[in-house]
Amino acid sequence: MAATAERPARIVIENCAVATVDARDTEYAQGHVVVAGQVIESVGEGKAPEGLENVVRRIDGTGHLVTPGLVNTHHHFYQWLTRGLATDHNLFDWLVALYPTWARIDEPMVHAAAQGSLAMMARGGVTTAMDHHYVFPRGTGDLAGAIVRAARETGVRFTLARGSMDRGESDGGLPPDFAVESLDGALAATERTVARHHDASFGSMTQVAVAPCSPFSVSTELMREGAGLARRLGVRLHTHGSETVEEEKFCHELFGMGPTAYFESTGWLGEDVWMAHCVHMNDADIAAFARTGTGVAHCPSSNARLAAGIARVPDMLAAGIPVGLGVDGTASNESGELHTELRNALLVNRLGPHREAALTARQALRLGTHGGARVLGREAEIGSLEPGKLADLVLWRMDTLAHASIADPVAALVLGAAAPVTLSLVGGVPVVEDGRLLTVDEDAVARTTRDEARRLARVTAGEE
Ligand SMILES: Nc1nc2[nH]c(O)nc2c(=O)[nH]1
C-alpha cells in the first residue's frame, strides 16, 4: 500500500550507537531510530518497537553511530572557485587580493561553485547548509536563484544569507568601488530575494536572511536599513563581526567605538541575529551578546588560516550565547568540510586560557548540530534526534581502520579522521549512501567547478 500522511513510510535504523544531542545529551550504546515520513517517530535503547506498519527500509546499523545531521552556519559558496590563493595573508590583505577576482563572477560560475560547496559538505554529513553571498557584479544574472537551485539539486536544507556591500574604497571601505552595490539597489534586491525564496513553514527547505557583509564594506545606513528590512519581513539577520584586530581598529577610527558597540548602535544585536567569527570580544561584548541572545558562527579553521585569533567559545557557552560552527568560505578554509570544524573547535579552544577544560567532544558535536540549529532559528525542527523533529540524521561508519579501535563513538567522530557516511537523511529522504551523493554526480561537479575556476582566472586576467 502506498504511503500517505496517515500511513507514512517508515525507515528503521537499529543495532547502532545513538547520540541524540537532546537537552540531556542522551546516548544509547545499542539503540534505534524510527523515521516516519519526514519526521523522527521514536529514538531509544535496544531494538525498534515491534509491529510497525509500512516499514519500507530496515537498516542494520551494527558498527555505526547515528547523530543529528551537521548544520553549517557560515559559508561563502562562490569562493570554491578561488581556493588555494593568497595563502599567507591576514584577512584584510587576503580580501584586497581576492576582491578583483570575485567581482568577475557570473551566474554559471556561482551555480558551479555552489554545487561544489554543497556536494563537499553533504557527503561529509551536513544536512543543513547556509551561504552568505555578498558579491553581486552588475549584469551577471540571477545569482541568488542559481544558489537556491544548487541547494535544491543537492537536497540539503538551506539558508541563503543575501549579503551586500555598499562601502567602496572611495567611501573609506576596503572593497574596490567596482565590487559594491548601491544602498537602494542592495536593499531592493534583498527584499526581492526574500519574497522569491523564503519559506517559513515547518520543514522548509529554503530560508533567506538579510546579510550586509561587514563593518568595513557596508555603510551605516545599509546596516540600519537592513536590520529594519529583516524585522519588517520577519527574517533573520547575519553579518561578519569582530573578526580581526584590523577590523577593531577600523571601527574605532571610523565610528569611535568597537564592533559590538557599533552593531548595537545599528540594531544588530538580538535573538534574530547571528554573526560570523566574533574572535575579538571582551567581557562586555560577551555580556551584550548573552543579554540580547545574539548568536555566533564559530569558524576555527578560517580564523587560524587568516591569523585572526581564537574566539572565546567556552566563555560564550558559559554566558548562554547560542554558538554554531561554520566552514567559512573555502578561499579561507580549503577543506570545505564541517567535520574539520568540530575537531578544530575542540583543539583550537584548548590552546586558549581554558586549556583542557575548554570544550569536550560532546560539546563540539553539540556546536555542529544543536548549536547550529539554534543560531539559524530552527531549533524546534532540527539539531537533535527527538520524536517530532525532522528526520535530518547521519549514520556514520565506525568499524573501519580509522575508528574501530576507539571505544567511545562520539570521541571517535570528533577527534578521529572524517568518518565515512553510510547514510544521511534530510527530512527522511536519503541524500548520501555508502559515501556517495545520490542527488548530484560528484565527478561531473568536480569537472564543472574546475572548468569554471579556470574560466574565472582567465576572465580576471583579461583573457576572455
Ligand atoms: N573570513 C571572511 N571574512 C570576511 N569579511 C568580509 O567582509 N568578507 C569576508 C570573507 O569572505 N571571509
For residue 148, pLDDT over 80 is answered with: yes
Sign (positive or negative) of CA dihedral 130, 209, 382, 300: positive
Ligand 1 center to 95 CA (angstroms) = 7
| 243 Cβ closer than 6 Å to some ligand 1 atom | yes
Place of cell 544509547: 28
| Nearest atom of ligand 1 to the alpha carbon of 306 | 1
What number is the average pLDDT over the span 420-444?
A: 98
| Percent share of the chain, pLDDT over 70 | 100
In angstroms, what is the C-alpha Rg of the chain? 21
- Find, among 148, 252, 250, the residue nearest to 205 by Cα: 148
Per-residue pLDDT reduced to its tens digit, 213-238 = 999 999 999 999 999 999 999 999 99
Residue 156, H or E segment: none
Ligand 1 center to 213 CA (angstroms) = 8
Q: Where are the beta strands (DSSP E) in 170-268?
A: 206-212, 237-241
Ligand 1 center to 332 CA (angstroms) = 9
Ligand 1 center to 386 CA (angstroms) = 35
For residue 124, pLDDT over 70 is answered with: yes
For position 4, what pLDDT does the model report?
A: 80
What number is the average pLDDT over the span 42-57?
A: 97
Residue 59, H or E segment: strand 55-60
Buried b (16+ CB within 10 A) or exposed e, 238-275: bbbbbbbebbbebbeeeeeebbbbbbbebbbbbebbbb
| 332 Cβ closer than 6 Å to some ligand 1 atom | yes
| Nearest atom of ligand 1 to the alpha carbon of 217 | 7
| Nearest atom of ligand 1 to the alpha carbon of 240 | 5
In the sheet that holds 126-133, the strands lie side by side as 70-71, 126-133, 157-164, 206-212, 237-241, 273-277, 295-298, 323-325
| CA angle in degrees (0–180, nearest 5) for 8-71-331 | 140
- Find, among 104, 235, 92, 221, the residue nearest to 161 by Cα: 235
Q: Choose one of 73, 75, 76, 133 to mutate for the ligand 1 pocket test, by most ligand atoms within 8 angstroms of C-beta.
A: 76
| Nearest atom of ligand 1 to the alpha carbon of 302 | 1
Do β-strands 55-60 and 10-19 pair in parallel, antiparallel, or remain unpaired? parallel
What number is the average pLDDT over the span 254-275?
A: 98
| 328 Cβ closer than 6 Å to some ligand 1 atom | yes
Q: Grid coordinates standing for 100? A: 578583483
| Percent share of the chain, pLDDT over 90 | 98
What number is the average pLDDT over the span 415-431?
A: 98
Ligand 1 center to 445 CA (angstroms) = 25
Alpha-carbon distance of 196 to 186, in angstroms, equals: 15
Alpha-carbon distance of 216 to 333, in angstroms, equals: 21
Q: Grid coordinates standing for 18? A: 545513538
| 217 Cβ closer than 6 Å to some ligand 1 atom | yes
Residue 163, H or E segment: strand 157-164
Amino acid at 345: A
CB 372 within 8 A of CB 324: yes
What number is the average pLDDT over the span 116-140?
A: 97
For position 143, what pLDDT does the model report?
A: 98
Per-residue pLDDT reduced to its tens digit, 318-340 = 999 999 999 999 999 999 999 99
Residues in the chain: 464
Percentage helix, strand, coil for the chain under 3-state DSSP, each rounded to 5: 40, 20, 40
CB 268 within 8 A of CB 227: yes
pLDDT band at 88; cut points 50, 70, 90: very high
**Chain-centre distance for alpha carbon 83:** 18
Q: What is the ipTM of this complex?
A: 0.99
pLDDT band at 464; cut points 50, 70, 90: confident
3-class SS of residue 132: strand
Q: Grid coordinates standing for 333? A: 578554509
| 215 Cβ closer than 6 Å to some ligand 1 atom | no
| 330 Cβ closer than 6 Å to some ligand 1 atom | no
3-class SS of residue 150: helix
Ligand 1 center to 330 CA (angstroms) = 11
Q: Which long-range contacts (CB under 8 A, 24 or more apart) does 445-448 make?
A: 445/112, 445/115, 445/116, 445/119, 446/116, 448/112, 448/115, 448/116
Neighbours of 88 (CB within 10 A): 8
For position 223, what pLDDT does the model report?
A: 98
| 37 Cβ closer than 6 Å to some ligand 1 atom | no
Q: Grid coordinates standing for 71? A: 548544520
| Nearest atom of ligand 1 to the alpha carbon of 174 | 7
Query: Which residues pair with residue 159 across a beta bridge?
Result: 130, 207
Ligand 1 center to 106 CA (angstroms) = 19
| 247 Cβ closer than 6 Å to some ligand 1 atom | no
Alpha-carbon distance of 419 to 397, in angstroms, equals: 6
Ligand 1 center to 58 CA (angstroms) = 44
For position 139, what pLDDT does the model report?
A: 85
Ligand 1 center to 137 CA (angstroms) = 17
Per-residue pLDDT reduced to its tens digit, 354-399 = 999 999 999 999 999 999 999 999 999 999 999 999 999 999 999 9
Ligand 1 center to 1 CA (angstroms) = 52
For position 1, what pLDDT does the model report?
A: 57
| 239 Cβ closer than 6 Å to some ligand 1 atom | no
Ligand 1 center to 240 CA (angstroms) = 7
| 329 Cβ closer than 6 Å to some ligand 1 atom | yes
Look up the pTM and report it: 0.98
Neighbours of 401 (CB within 10 A): 7
